[in-house]
Structure 1
Amino acid sequence: MSENESLSENPATARSAPLAPVRPSARFMLSHPAHFIALGFGSGLSPLAPGTAGTLWAWLAFVALQPWMNDTRWAVLIALSLPLGWWASTVTARNMRVLDPSSVVWDEIAAFWLVLWLIAPAGWWAQLLAFALFRFFDAVKPGPVGWADALFHDVNTTTDPAAWRKAGFGIMLDDVVAAACALLVIAGWRFFQ
């Protein structure tokens, strides 16, 4: 009997073998509503810099929604987008078998909406500066952003029943911290002007 046959016939051995990560694709994205949300309606499928693509999608969506929105509506949308993102990120990370997949970009979308809402009204140049600052903090992960990013990267998915929920929370958390850092820089710049 070959090694592959013995693995497939012995359920205990087959369960202990780690499963390969799932690569994101349009088919994967459309297979579950959580995937569609977490992958930023397709922006997370970008082969280059999916986080930047998700942030650009957030910016375009913000501009497109702006005529119908006011502060209350933005507050409600962003407040709902955070737990929705936690759920969608948890489900998608678990189904991809990766604790923090780069294609999950809902965290960038919700966090950048928060930045844009809190700096409004802001012109194009101010929004571009906010975009650059947010991408810097999210990509480089200095100080508190790095701490938030690493917080749940070591969870054990085989022994911790809450591992995927922790991973989903961590996916959202570091981007909210990156948004807070970008907002602090913008507030400091405005204060000293």
Structure 2
Amino acid sequence: MSPGMAIATLGGIGRLKPGPGTWGSAAVLPAALLGPLACLGLAAIVALVGWWATRAALAETGAKDPGWIVVDEAAGMLLALGGLAGVSGWLGVALAFAGFRALDILKPWPVSWADGLPGATGVMLDDILAGAIVAAALLLAGGI
């Protein structure tokens, strides 16, 4: 497995069935134990490395937006966990997870707009926007 493919699939997690996006999102949930700031830092790193890996995986396979690429879900979920400064604890983690998965699946605007962008940018940006929306909602819910 090429390095780009390994990162894009989170070491093969993207090949799990059913719902590889859900598995990719769940894979980073333990990062919540590190706190919101660490999650934001990890989100930035995963987004940058993930964009490179997604670009490489798309070039390698010729695919457009395959479900097995789940590094985008990891980046978006980490960003959503950055909102735990607003609603903390397991309730906050559950709300972040449910909210992120809902936006990722339903793709309301502007998530749908980003999803329509070509290449690695579209693959990554829709999940980053979904994560940012969830993080903002959690912060607002906590009165921050």
Hey, what's the Cα distance between the residues in 1 that align with 2:36 and 2:101?
A: 25
Task: Tell me by how many angstroms 1:82 deviates.
Answer: 1.5
Q: CA RMSD in A?
A: 2.2
Q: Percent identity?
A: 34
**What residue ranges of structure 2 are gaps of 5+ in the alignment?**
none
Task: Tell me by how many angstroms 1:182 deviates.
Answer: 1.3
**Corresponding residue for 1:86?**
51
**Corresponding residue for 2:90?**
124
> Highest Rg: 1 or 2?
1
Higher RCO (CA < 8 A, seq sep 6+): 2
Hey, what's the Cα distance between the residues in 1 that align with 2:114 and 2:18?
A: 24
**Corresponding residue for 1:58?**
28
1:114 paired to 2:103: no
Tell me the TM-score normalized by structure 2. 0.88
State the number of aligned residues: 143
**What residue ranges of structure 1 are gaps of 5+ in the alignment?**
1-30, 153-166
Hey, what's the Cα distance between the residues in 1 that align with 2:21 and 2:44?
A: 21
Task: Tell me by how many angstroms 1:76 deviates.
Answer: 4.0
Contact 2:14–2:23, Cα closer than 8 Å, also in 1: yes
Match of 1:148 among 95, 111, 114: 114
The alignment partner of 1:131 has SS state of: helix
Tell me the TM-score normalized by structure 1. 0.67
